Amino acid sequence: MEDRSFGPIRFLAGENRGRYPNCHSLYIEGAGILIDPASSRERLLRLRAEEEVKMVWLSHWHEDHFMHLDLFDDLPLWVSLQDAPPLADLDVLLKWYGLNEEEKRFWGPLLLEQFHFRPRKPARYLVDGEIIRLGGLSVKVIATPGHTPGHLSFFFREASVLFVGDYDLTRFGPWYGDLFSDIDETRASIERLQEIPAHVVLTGHEAGVFLDPPEKKLLTLLEKPRTLEEIVAACIIYGRPREPKAFFTFGERVLMTKHLEHLQKRGMVVSENGRYRKADARTKP
């Protein structure tokens, strides 16, 4: 995948087509704004040497989007108020993921070493609905919570370019397993983005479509009562057991927990004696 330009908006393609743990970045020429500095460490080092980068914006707090933020420690950081806390404290970041103690022992060193986490406090908060003028270009800040509480998208009006961050429409779809993620808000944000009159949509990861929603598979599985461990073992999200186990088991557990909570709230799933079942499925004696 190659870099592309849409007027002054430069799309910096991430390694491996922007698949996690990589993502795509944006650079706004003239304004010197770098959004989500994680496309490629070498590419961003070259950008810093060749261009006048003036500030960094983050669409949200996740590690695959701040991975090379440490290269710009001396520049102002702008992000939403809601997503600022985990960027300032590693313990808060681990807490926001909903990790247990064993998972923290795996993720803590990884965030420091692979993702170069360094505590940062923003110089300014980006606010929903504000329009920021960047010379001949203006950008509207759009709150798109659900993936994270303060996830932001950006609509560059004159260029008719919309950057949707992690609402990327890959086969996996946006992550919604954090402590403060919300499925209903995620769906509402997707609907809001669909109303934006953009000619070009840029994403944080590889482009794609949603296929076979996980809840459909989960409801089929819950025709028979299942424990959370049995649901995790079914690998609805990832399809099969994968390594490293600590990473993928965590992902399967938190995402399935979110779906179970969502389906219970809608009255479609009930919990009895530590097991979950579809609301219209009877428990066998």
The gap from C-alpha 185 to its chain's centroid, in whole angstroms, comes to 13
Please say whether the dihedral angle defined by the alpha carbons of residues 178, 243, 235 and 249, taken in this order, is positive or negative.
negative
Q: What is the pTM of this model?
A: 0.76
Res. 285 pLDDT band, cuts 50 70 90: very low
The CATH superfamily of 4-202 is Ribonuclease Z/Hydroxyacylglutathione hydrolase-like (3.60.15.10)
| Beta strand ranges found along the chain (DSSP E) | 4-6, 9-12, 25-28, 33-35, 55-57, 77-79, 124-125, 131-134, 137-143, 152-156, 161-163, 200-202, 269-272, 275-278
Average pLDDT value for residue range 194-212: 70
The predicted-structure confidence for 52-95, as pLDDT tens digits, reads as follows 999 999 999 999 999 999 999 999 999 999 999 999 999 999 99
The predicted-structure confidence for 36-47, as pLDDT tens digits, reads as follows 999 999 999 999
Domain ranges of the chain: 4-202, 214-278
The predicted-structure confidence for 246-259, as pLDDT tens digits, reads as follows 888 998 999 899 88
Write out the two tokens for 163: 């950057």
Res. 1 pLDDT band, cuts 50 70 90: confident
The predicted-structure confidence for 11-36, as pLDDT tens digits, reads as follows 998 888 788 888 999 999 999 999 99
Q: Would the pLDDT of 171 be above 60?
A: no
Residues near 62 by beta carbon (within 8 Å), at least 6 away in sequence: 148, 166, 175
The predicted-structure confidence for 110-155, as pLDDT tens digits, reads as follows 999 999 999 999 999 999 999 999 988 999 999 999 999 999 999 9
